[in-house]
């Protein structure tokens, strides 16, 4: 049997379609020219990167997965994951700006009424309005069924929302928040009494008035990393939500919020996995550059076996995490059940992000601890991925249960 030449193998193997290559190259150029050179400034000042976000609107990055009929690109989850990887390679906070927006658009596309889609998706596709979504509360994180925020139907047919939400990315700058509330606190099991409400608000306004009265956004939460993009609380106090703003409509959406949100988290985990791959990739790039420039004992440290082995392990972990992430995305695109694979992707990629960033930090030595070097920012940003969209411990629980479900004896 003839052995294929390297050129033949290159021609036969395609990791991306031509369209995906073009999109990824466009985003990578944007990241290299606009995000990486400016990320340190925005991170240091914890300032929202408005000029970068405006350019993202022009590139159509807020409508990547939104159908063309609503003004979006109509691309699949796999291509979106590739875009997120590139954005996260530049600065993880930038991917955070589009992450909750993406989940909001996914909820609308899958569960929204025709009126809800027509009202929100065109404006979301252009980035004219940005979306947030909210599950967590001050005393509730992974145990979503334990939320305390409630929605009560008033005599006029509107729903009155009461409760406090926590860790809402884009909580202040968004114009619409997909929020989970208990419409029946006595439901057994609790998830049957939970509903997703589409709550509109005025962007960048801490105290809403008029038709959006009853929603307050306290000052943003100060964080170790993941700066620039705001994380906030949301306080609903007598906020009135019309029944047509229940996700899917009151008839079909009431009491379905938990399952809708869990479905969205499945694609959200692929998104977080892509972010883990992206930040790890950037850490590897920095480590490769520094280890070839820094010399000890008369030669670059990259030539010392201890560093060489680190670089090898880092690159191998990244490649494995990338492949698992793309498999989960492709399965979802093909309409196959991918809850197990999404959990695996989120687990391996978020842990890889943390481990590779730490190894790059070690390779930089004392300079890694200095704010003069980019790796210091990555070291503060990476731990977020271990928590968001379900902790590593929760992922292991999900993976284990799904394995048993699929392999019953």
With CA atoms as reference, report the closest residue to 283 among 89, 35, 96: 89
What's the CA dihedral at 130, 233, 258, 344 to 10 degrees?
80
Answer yes or no: are the C-beta atoms of 59 and 351 closer than 8 Å.
no
Distance CA 385, CA 61 (A): 22
Show which residues are catalytic.
Answer: 389
With CA atoms as reference, report the closest residue to 289 among 318, 319, 311: 311
With CA atoms as reference, report the closest residue to 145 among 318, 262, 246: 262
Answer yes or no: are the C-beta atoms of 375 and 368 closer than 8 Å.
yes
Taking phi first (over 0 means left), then psi (-120 to 50 degrees means alpha), and beta for anything else, what does residue 172 get? alpha
């Amino acid at each position: 049997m003839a052995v294929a030449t390297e050129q033949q193998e290159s021609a036969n193997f395609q990791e991306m379609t031509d369209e995906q290559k073009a999109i990824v190259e466009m985003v990578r150029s944007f990241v290299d020219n606009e995000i990486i050179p400016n990320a340190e400034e925005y991170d240091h000042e914890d300032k929202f990167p408005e000029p970068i976000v405006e350019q993202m609107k022009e590139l159509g990055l807020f409508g990547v997965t939104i159908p063309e009929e609503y003004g979006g690109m109509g691309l699949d989850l796999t291509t979106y994951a590739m875009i997120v990887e590139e954005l996260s390679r530049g600065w993880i906070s930038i991917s955070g700006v589009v992450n909750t927006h993406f989940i909001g658009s996914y909820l609308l596309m899958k569960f929204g009424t025709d009126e809800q889609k027509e009202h929100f998706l065109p404006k979301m596709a252009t980035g004219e309005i940005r979306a947030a979504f909210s599950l967590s509360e001050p005393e509730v994180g992974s145990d979503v069924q334990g939320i305390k925020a409630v929605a009560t139907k008033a005599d006029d047919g509107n729903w009155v929302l009461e409760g406090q939400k926590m860790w809402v990315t884009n909580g202040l700058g968004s114009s619409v928040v997909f929020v989970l509330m208990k419409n029946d606190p006595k439901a057994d099991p609790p998830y049957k009494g939970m509903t997703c409400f589409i709550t509109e608000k005025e962007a960048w306004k801490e105290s809403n008035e008029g038709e959006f009265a009853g929603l307050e956004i306290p000052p943003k939460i100060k964080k170790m990393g993941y700066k620039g993009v705001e994380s906030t609380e949301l306080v609903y106090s007598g906020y009135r939500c019309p029944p047509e703003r229940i996700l899917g409509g009151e008839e079909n959406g009431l009491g379905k919020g938990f399952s809708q949100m869990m479905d969205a988290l499945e694609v959200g985990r692929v998104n977080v996995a892509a972010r883990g791959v992206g930040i790890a990739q950037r850490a590897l790039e920095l480590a490769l550059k520094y280890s070839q420039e820094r010399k000890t004992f008369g030669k670059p440290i990259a030539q010392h076996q201890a560093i060489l082995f680190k670089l090898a392990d880092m690159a191998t972990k990244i490649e494995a995490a990338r492949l698992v992430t793309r498999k989960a995305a492709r399965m979802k695109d093909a309409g196959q059940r991918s809850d197990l694979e999404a959990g695996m992707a989120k687990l391996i990629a978020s842990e890889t992000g943390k481990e590779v960033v730490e190894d790059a930090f070690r390779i930089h030595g004392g300079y890694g601890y200095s704010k003069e070097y980019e790796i210091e920012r990555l070291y503060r940003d990476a731990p977020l991925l271990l928590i968001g969209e379900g902790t590593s411990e929760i992922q292991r629980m999900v993976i284990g249960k799904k394995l048993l479900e699929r392999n019953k004896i």
